[in-house]
Amino acid sequence: MSIKALNWAFEQELPCATKFVLVALADSTNTDLECWPSQRTIAKRCGLTRQKVNVAIKDLADYQLISVEHRQAEGGGQVSNFYRLNLRFTAVNEDDTVVIRESGECHSGLPPESSSVSPGVNEDDSLIIEPTNEPPIEPTNEPIGKKARKTSLPDDCPTRDDSAKAIAYWTKHGRPDIDAQEQAQLFRDHHVINAKTSADWSASWRTWYVRARAYTEKRKGQAENKIVRIQRENLGPG
């Protein structure tokens, strides 16, 4: 167990289940901030179902607080995933939105970048976490240790450069069909209507466009299921 990693995990401003899983991983790490507990072990220690554990792991990897490597035994069977904590980043809750910032903390056993994940299906019907090499979160210009002042949404946010990064991200991950202009308007409407403030609007936009990919895929699947259901109803029995 790494006391340094455990203290870092407790400091992250995350939803309860996600933070609990991060603490459990931190409690299992070696001096290189690495661990490989089974899904069953994590679920038992946290008092969560495997499904909730895997959702939490996916979120932690999306936030780049951990990197995950899926492993296989020599005979081809499944073994536990390999986790590495990334102390370079810190999760901050801003108006119920998790924003990731560069913390300035780096461990010699960590890679320069961590990767995000997408779920598959394990042999026991639980989710597999596989690396998808998400882009690293870029550091802010705020001095380490100084808390930035929160502001309302600027008129030019997201900027043209921010939108270009979002389009590049969606294209890289097979979703060039996502409408950047529509997402930018949804982003603006959400934060203006709810009077949201942020100390780093570029980071808030990154969180938005990363999650937009998963959300649009879910919405597309729901629409396809609805079409199939309507077609079956129109065909009738037989």
201's CB contacts (< 8 A; 6+ apart) are 151, 153, 154, 157, 158
CA distance 219 to 33: 37
If we measure between CA atoms, which residue out of 75, 68, 151, 62 comes closest to residue 111? 68
Q: Identify the three-state secondary structure at position 101.
A: strand
Give residue 236's pLDDT: 62
Whole-model pTM: value is 0.48
Give residue 180's pLDDT: 87
- The answer to whether the beta carbons of residues 42 and 24 sit under 8 Å apart is yes
Segments making up each domain of the chain, as ranges: 1-136, 149-238
Peptide bond before 176: cis, by omega within 30 degrees of 0?
no
Distance in Å from the first CA to the final CA of the chain: 61
At residue 118, φ and ψ (nearest 5 deg) are -135, 145
Give me the average pLDDT of each 10-residue run along the chain (238 residues).
Answer: 88 93 94 91 94 93 89 77 91 82 51 40 44 47 55 90 88 86 89 85 84 68 60 62
Give residue 14's pLDDT: 93
CA distance 196 to 153: 8
User: Which runs of E-coded beta strand occur in the chain?
Assistant: 34-35, 66-69, 82-85, 89-94, 97-102, 117-121, 127-131, 151-152, 197-198
- The answer to whether the beta carbons of residues 113 and 132 sit under 8 Å apart is no
Report whether CATH 1.10.1200.10 matches the domain 1-136.
no
